[in-house]
Structure 1
Amino acid sequence: MWNRLVIMFCFCFLITGISSCPKKGIKTTSKASPAVKQVGDKRIFFNYDEFNITEASADILLDVIAVLQDNPDAQVALTGHADNRGSHDYNLALGAKRADSAKKFMVNCTPYLGKRIKTASKGETEPLVQVKDNSKNSKYEKEHAKNRRVEFSFSGIKK
């Protein structure tokens, strides 16, 4: 797994080098809408009480980077969420760590995009799935897992 992450980081640096080359006469805005819709509908997910980026999450974040590279006026908001286990303050902080972790990955890949990536946290306040059992060893772990996520919201994309 670590080997694949190292390869992805190297790939990020390669993307950075290629994307900084001038592109003469190429217009990518007409192709943006389907890609933005596709990436905007995706989410990255996290294990219980964690905020590290997995290999699957890295692939999705690379797609978000590609949308930003293809749309120079675009910005993205990364909103972190948590399940309902833990205090409200703890979950807000955890959601923020998840969004910040995603941003850090993206900025490590493409430093010049940093100003176009914003983060926020909703904690446990906007679950995708309502789960009444908030015990640490909940029998509804699959449902809780759907609430531990980062979502993407794009702005500034011309159609």
Structure 2
Amino acid sequence: MNKQIAPPIVGVGVLVTRENGQLLLGHRIKAGETPSWCFPGGHVEPNETLPQAARRELQEEAGVSLDEGGEVFGFAMQLTGPRTLMTGGVMLKLAESQLVTEVCEPHNFDEWRWFSPDALPQNLFPATEALIELWLHKRSAPGWIAYPVAESAGA
């Protein structure tokens, strides 16, 4: 019997911070899913680096345009489910002049908001929760494993 295996999905989650340390989260209202809060993000396109994908997704979903930047801080891998899901976390720090966001995909999001890391909303999107826990140096969410990127990588 030939068992078909679903192809893996490689995604990017964009940890956007501002000067005061707050994080940008969107209220995700995608049809067929429980509403949740998540980073800007999505699938990595062919021939894209993780920082390029992060900047593209930030533009497409929240209307923030950046020509460069983005630091990969780690990967989160879902250990449950019918396919392998790997999400690369990319950190972008915005200057005050870049803080205006807009809902560019109203079928997926109904708002963008800034949150303090110690006052995050309930019901985080699973990949976002895993990446936040990695960034905060906490234990991975159940069903996920996190791989931090060594600070000396590329140095």
Taking structure 2 as the reference length, the TM-score comes to 0.25
Greater strand proportion = 2
Greater helix proportion = 1
Taking structure 1 as the reference length, the TM-score comes to 0.25
Rg larger in 1 or in 2?
A: 1
